[in-house]
A = this chain, B = another copy of it.
Amino acid sequence: MKSKELSRADVVDKRMQILCAAQRCFARYGFAKTTLDDIAAGVGMKKASLYYYYKNKESIFQDVIEYESNELLNLLNEKMATCSNAIEKLLMFAHARLEYLRKTINLHELSVQVLLEVKPIIDRLFQDFQRKQLEVLQKILLEGIEQNIFKQIDVNQTASAILSVLEAVVLKEFQSAEIHSASDIDYNKLQKQLDTILTLMIDGLKK
């Protein structure tokens, strides 16, 4: 056995360390200004060693976004499992999304900041992430109809409308002229506003 060869577990572990370092760098400097040296320094390795794990910055970024998306989707499923009906689930969906944004160096700040820079990568990943979120929402709406809580509605169209609102209101807050970084966001105000909107929409869904 070659002592230099890394086990699969070591590679996975190191890749995770790289992703975390990259996540911090992208959030702090933006995509364009982050260098592979910055990321390597964050893990305490040389750039040359980094190439063992990733061929370029784009591929690291892609994994960061994918990792964050999956983390959020897992969190959503976990939280919703504790809810007893479709209305609770819808509210939980909105809350958990926002809570995730607040707690982590967040996906949306990253995506707003680098949207144009890394458009081709983002486009594909975001479509995939949106599709997965839409599936979750569609399932909740169908459940609500089956539970006889919600009216008969166009499930696809309504899920898309709800996701669009949740995304748009957060995006708007991030884009607000007063806000320069994620820490400037007044999450309580944002949560209250999303609640007002969602409560109206849920009341509109009710039989």
Contact = CB atoms under 8 A, between A and B. Distances in A.
Interface of A: 115-116, 119, 122-123, 126, 154, 157-158, 160-161, 164-165, 167-169, 171-172, 175, 177-178, 193, 196-197, 199-205
Copies of chain A in the complex: 2
A205 B200 contact: yes
Q: Which 3 A-B pairs have the closest CB atoms?
A: A203-B204, A168-B168, A204-B204
A145 to B, nearest CB: 14
Contacts of A160: 193, 196
A165 B197 contact: yes
Contacts of A199: 204
Contacts of A201: 197, 200-201, 204
A92 B184 CA distance: 35
Nearest to A171: B172
Contacts of A164: 169, 172, 193, 197
5 contacts: A161-B197, A161-B200, A164-B172, A201-B201, A203-B203
B204 A123 contact: no
A134 to B, nearest CB: 13
B168 A122 contact: no
Contacts of A115: 175, 177
